[in-house]
Every structure is written in C-alpha cells, then in structure tokens.
C-alpha cells in the first residue's frame, strides 16, 4: 500500500504480491526472470480489481509470459460507487432506521 501527499495522483488501492513459483514447475525458466503475480483491489477513484500473473505461452516450447485479468465496476454498472464515508453512513442508517 502506498500513501503520501507527494504522489502524482490520488488513488487508493491494495496490492498483494503472491509468493514466487517453485523451480520445478518451470525447468528452463529462471524464476528471477518472471514478473511477480500481483492481485490488486482498486478502491478509489476507480473501483475494481486486477490480477497480473504468468502463464505458459501456447507453443511446444516452455515459455512463460505475463498477462493481466482486469475488472472495472464502471464497465458493468451505471450507478456510481459510494465515496468516502458514504457507505458507512448508509450501513448505519439502515441498521438504526
């Protein structure tokens, strides 16, 4: 997680870097040469997730390449997501209302 007043843009996200893969899965590939597998949850300003991971490139040769799987709420839902404390206020209001 990165925070700070001097970042170039305002955003809130959580990135989880998964453990490195074992050597036995990729005999001819240096594990150090592979990009890390990272799952990212984007909270603000754009809500969504992404997963950067390595896959075998389709071919008879054992070659690994990076890919990204991405989900953006705005691509599927027209309603704007809650911001700041709005969600908390809605939950509190429903519980006590």
User: Does the residue 4 lie in any domain?
Assistant: no
Instruction: For residues 33 and 37, give the distance between their C-alpha atoms in angstroms, rounded to a whole number.
Output: 12
Report field, pTM of the whole predicted structure over 0.75:
no
Give the pair of three-digit tokens for residue 20: 């490195």
Domain that holds residue 92: 12-96
Q: 3-class SS at 94? A: helix
Task: Express each pLDDT in 3-61 by its tens digit.
Answer: 566 777 777 888 999 987 665 566 666 666 678 899 999 887 788 999 999 888 898 87
Question: Residue 84 domain-assigned?
Answer: yes
Answer whether residue 42 is part of any domain: yes
**Nearest alpha-carbon partner for 37 in 57, 22, 17, 55:** 17
Domain-located, residue 83: yes
Whether 73 is covered by a domain: the verdict is yes
Q: Does a structural domain hold residue 62? A: yes
User: Residues 68-84: pLDDT tens digits?
Assistant: 999 998 898 877 656 65
Residue 17 lies in a domain: yes
Number of domains in the chain: 1
Which residues have a Cβ under 8 Å from the Cβ of 11 and sit 6 or more positions away?
42, 44, 45, 46
């Amino acid at each position: 997680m990165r925070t700070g007043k001097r970042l170039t843009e305002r955003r809130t996200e959580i990135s989880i870097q998964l453990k490195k893969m074992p050597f036995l899965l990729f005999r001819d590939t240096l594990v150090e040469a592979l990009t890390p597998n990272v799952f990212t949850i984007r909270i603000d300003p754009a809500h969504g997730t992404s997963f950067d991971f390595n896959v075998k490139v389709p071919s008879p040769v054992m070659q690994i390449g990076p890919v990204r799987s991405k989900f953006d709420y705005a691509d599927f839902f027209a309603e704007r997501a809650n911001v700041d404390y709005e969600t908390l206020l809605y939950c509190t209001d429903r519980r006590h209302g």
